Amino acid sequence: MFHLNAIFIEQFASVLLKKLQNTNIITCYSSSKDDWFLEWEGGIFQIRFYQKNPFFLFPDSDRFLKRNRLLFGRGIKGLRMLDVIVYKCERCFALKLENDFTLLFKLFGAMSDILLFEGDDCLQSFRKQHQELNDKLSDFKFQSNERTISDASNWDEFRKMLPWFPIELKYFVIELGFPTPWTAQDWLQFAEDKVSKGPFFVWNSNGEWRISLKAASGSDSFEDISSAVDFFSKNYLSTHSFQNQKEQQINEKNRYLKLLVAKLKQKESELNKAIKRLSYSQQADILMANLSSVTKGVREIELLDFYHNTPVVLTLKPELNLQQNAAILYRKSKNEHIARVKLQETVVALKKQISEVERAVELLRTAENLSDLKMEKEPKSRSNNLKPAQQAEKTKGRRFEKEGFEILVGRNAFENDELLQMASKNDIWLHARGVKGSHVIIRCKRQNPPDYIIEFAASLAAHFSEARGNKLAPVIFVERKFVRKSKKLATGQVMVEREKVVMVKPWVKG
């Protein structure tokens, strides 16, 4: 990059001297590990370290909040800047301050740093490269090279002899014809003259911003080197920030897409198995047609599947007879159709979600600016900032009380989530099994509820669910700490572990 060439830095430092000389430092601070600021009476000078390289900017003074600042060099506040020290053919320069303080800017790519010296001793390193605290200011000297450059016949040979020479001046050197005998000092003077006179041109070439002394199609022209480097740095950083955010969002979407595809494959497999296997009611019918085959004590039995005219092996509970096993299967069959319909709905919803994410990825790929990368975010519930007691007051869920135990019932999916958030880890969470319904919370307050309290709360869960019309309904219950809510789950949905089941009659009002 031209702005990090030693000759460019030398000329930039000379212009910086005109801005800063005999002015006082108002403050010196950082707003992040990569942003360093020097504020003086005439404005702000910023160095941003991005992808190992420093960039120079002159931002507006009212953009930065004081609470985000970390002071750098507490002893230099209010000091007058006396001079700028330039190190020939070195990518560094220094600001000489009152009271023998010096700010040294080392611009060596990944090793770039800003060092504060008092006298010859290093006091502080901005990039926290602690080994540099042993550096001495007197170590930074330019070693003159006066040998003649007489055997360079092309650009490659020339650059090997003078690696510090700006590649941006290649056109001018070739045009000059490699004059001989010129010393390194002659070439240095030639480069300095070119860079000091300008003008400078900044343009975007296939998404990459460049700064040079030679004009290009669509380039902006600047006579002042500080204006040129400020314009270049702002556009370079803005473009790369956009590209990084774009790539990050595409990667996040692709990772999410991969999870959705895997989940779809799993649900489709479950649905296919559910369609192909005998239903619970069919298995029960086969058992009822063979009651005389066996009594008890058998875990598996092979019978004729008269629905498909093929033998089938059925799993049994050995402690029960065939009629009792059939009764269990008949009970299971009540929710089997609902479960299959839910699987089908899940598959359809996943396919729709995958299509939406794929479309979002395509839109991100065609994004051309930061505004195109804006993503919708679900607003956080205001109750997240409340304490549990305050959340309980805010929640509009139904309330019941039985023998000192408070029982809360959600009215909708949003209230279900709110109840989950406000519940303590040892509270009891309940929900009708296998059907849509309200979340129910028993507030325990360090006291385990007796079984009849759990059964009462379970009857409420059954009543406020799709199972309210059944004579008996299964309800799952578990401590709140075993109920998880991830960001990928829809409103009102949860994941449950270690649940227990209780069969209850749905609650009847009055």
Given this model, what pLDDT does residue 288 score?
86
DSSP class of residue 411? S
SS3 6: helix
Domain co-membership, 358 together with 417: no
User: What values do phi and psi take at 213, rounded to 5?
Assistant: -95, -5
Query: Last residue of some domain: 350, 371, 392?
Result: 371
**Residues 7 and 112 grouped into a single domain:** yes
* 67 and 113 assigned to the same domain: yes
Cα dihedral across residues 310, 315, 321, 322: positive or negative? negative
DSSP 207-240: TEEEEESS--TT-EEESSHHHHHHHHHHHHHHHH
Say which residues have a Cβ less than 8 Å from residue 451's Cβ, sequence separation at least 6. none
CB atoms within 10 A of CB 2: 19
Is residue 388 reached through a cis peptide bond, with omega within 30 degrees of 0 on the bond before it?
no
Judge contact between 96 and 25, C-beta under 8 A. no
Question: Distances in Å between the alpha carbon of 64 and those of 27, 55, 371?
Answer: 13, 18, 22
Q: How many CA atoms lie within 13 A of 196 on its CB side?
A: 10
Note the pLDDT of residue 176: 57
Say which DSSP state 52 is in: T
d(CA 397, CA 469): 22
Tell whether 331 and 455 lie within a shared domain: no
Final residue in a domain of this structure, among 371, 395, 425? 371
Burial call 377-394: b when 16+ CB within 10 Å, e when fewer: eeeeeebeebeeeebbee
- Identify whether 206 is part of a domain: no
Rounded CA gap, 93 and 13, in Å? 7
83's enclosing H/E stretch is strand 81-86
In terms of domains, do 326 and 439 share one? Answer: no
Mean pLDDT, consecutive 10-residue stretches, the chain (510 aa), reads 73 84 88 86 86 84 63 85 81 88 85 86 77 64 45 59 64 58 66 76 81 81 86 84 81 89 90 81 86 80 86 88 87 77 88 88 75 47 40 60 89 86 90 91 87 93 89 91 84 87 86
Half-sphere CA count of 3, side-chain side, radius 13 A: 23
Same domain, 307 and 366: yes
Sheet holding 92-97, edge to edge: 81-86, 92-97, 101-106, 113-118, 121-125
Q: Are residues 285 and 324 in the same domain?
A: yes
Q: Are residues 361 and 469 in the same domain?
A: no
CA 472, 476, 477, 480 dihedral sign is negative
Number of domains in the chain: 3
Residues in the chain: 510
Residues 345 and 283 in one domain: yes
What is the SS3 assignment for 151? Answer: coil
Q: Look up the CATH number of the domain holding residue 7.
A: 2.30.310.10
Nearest to 148 by CA among 178, 182, 174: 182
In a domain, 222, yes or no: no
Q: Residue 326 burial (CB < 10 Å; 0-12/13-18/19+)?
A: buried
Determine contact, residues 62/70, Cβ cutoff 8 Å: no
> What is the domain extent for residue 96?
2-139
431 and 318 housed in the same domain: no
User: Does residue 154 fall inside a structural domain?
Assistant: no
Q: Are residues 499 and 448 in the same domain?
A: yes
Question: Which amino acid does the sequence have at 155?
Answer: W
Q: Are residues 388 and 359 in the same domain?
A: no
**96 within domain boundaries:** yes
C-alpha to C-alpha distance for 105 and 118, rounded to whole angstroms: 15
Last residue of a domain, one of 124, 139, 154: 139
